[in-house]
Structure 1
Amino acid sequence: MKKSTKWLTGSVAFVSLSLSGCGYLGFGDSITIGAKSFTEQYILSEMTYFILEDAGYQVRQVENLGSNVLRSALENGQVDITWEYTGTAIATYLNMDPITDPDEAYSTLQEVDPENGLHWMNVSEVNNTYALIMNRAEAEDLGISSLSDLATYVNDNPGELNMGTDAAFANRADGLPGLEQTYGFEFGSGNVDYMDAGLLYEALYNGELSVAMGYETDARIDDYDQVILEDDEVFFAPYNAAVSIRLDVFEENPEIEELLQPLADLLDSEIMRGLNYEVDIERQSVTLVAYNFLVEAGLIEEDE
Structure 2
Amino acid sequence: MQRLIATLSGLALAGAMSTAQAADVTVGGKNFTEQQILASMTSQYLDELGYDVDSRAGMGSAVLRQAQENGQIDLYWEYTGTSLINYNDISERLDPEETYARVKELDAEKGLVWLAPSAANNTYALAMRADDAEERGIHSLSALAEAVNAGVELSFGLNAEFYARDDGWRPLQEAYEFRVGRRDVSRMDSGLVYQALRDGQVDVGLVFATDGRIPAFDFHVLEDDRNFFPAYALTPVIREETLTQFPELEAQLNALSALLDDETMAELNARVDVERETIEDVAEGFLRANDLL
TM-score, normalization by structure 1: 0.85
Q: Contact conserved, 2:38 with 2:77, CA < 8 A, in 1?
A: yes
What secondary structure, in the 3-state scheme, does the structure 2 residue paired with 1:266 have? coil
Q: 1:194 to 1:78 in 2, by over 3 A?
A: farther
% identical aligned pairs? 43
Q: Secondary structure at the match of 2:157?
A: strand
Hey, what's the Cα distance between the residues in 2 that align with 1:98 and 1:129? 16
Aligned to 1:87: 81
For 2:146, which of 149, 152, 161 is the aligned residue? 152
Are residues 61 and 18 of structure 1, via their aligned partners in 2, closer, same or farther at CA, if it must alter by over 3 Å? closer
Work out whether residues 100 and 235 of structure 1, in 8 Å CA contact, stay in contact via their aligned partners in 2: no
What displacement does 1:152 show?
1.9
Structure 1 CA distance for aligned equivalents of residues 195 and 36 of structure 2: 23
Q: How many residues align?
A: 282
| Residue 54 (structure 2) aligned to one of 43, 54, 60 | 60
1:33 corresponds to which of 20, 24, 27: 27
> Which AA in structure 2 matches 1:228?
V
Does residue 214 of the first structure (1) align with residue 214 of the second (2)? no
Unpaired segments ≥5 residues, structure 1: 1-12
Query: What secondary structure does 2:146 align onto?
Result: helix
Deviation of 1:101 after TM superposition, in Å, equals: 2.7
Deviation at 1:253, TM superposition (A): 2.2
Conserved in 2, the CA contact under 8 Å of 1:129 and 1:238? yes
- Offset, 1:114: 1.7
Taking structure 1 as reference, are residues 19 and 50 closer, same or farther at Cα in structure 2, changes over 3 Å only? Answer: closer
Q: Does 1:74 align with 2:105?
A: no
User: After TM superposition, where is structure 1 displaced by more than 4 Å over at least 4 residues in a row?
Assistant: 16-20
Indicate conservation of the 8 Å contact 2:122/2:234, yes or no. yes
Task: Measure the CA separation in 2 of the matches of 1:295 and 1:191.
Answer: 46
Are 1:277 and 2:276 matched, yes or no?
Answer: no
Distance 1:234 1:91 in 2: 17
Aligned to 2:14: 15
Residue number in structure 2 paired with 1:117:
111
Q: Could you tell me how far apart the structure 2 residues matched to 1:130 and 1:141 are?
A: 24
Give distance in 2, aligned partners of 1:244 and 1:288. 24
Q: Distance in 1 between matches of 2:18 and 2:218?
A: 46
Among 269, 277, 288, the residue aligned to 1:295: 288
Q: CA deviation at 1:174?
A: 3.3
Tell me how large the CA RMSD over aligned residues is: 2.1
Distance 1:263 1:213 in 2: 29
> Which consecutive unaligned segments of at least 5 residues does structure 2 have?
1-11
Query: What is the deviation of 1:18?
Result: 5.8
Compare 172-181 and 85-94 and name the one that shifted more: 172-181
Query: 2:167 matched to 1:174?
Result: yes
Question: Is the Cα–Cα contact under 8 Å of residues 13 and 63 in structure 2 kept in the other structure?
Answer: no
1:202 matched to which residue of 2? 195
Match of 1:242 among 235, 245, 262: 235
Aligned residue among 180, 185, 193 for 1:187? 180
Moved more, 119-128 or 134-143: 134-143
Residue aligning to 1:45: 39
Contact 1:90 1:98 (8 Å CA) reproduced: no
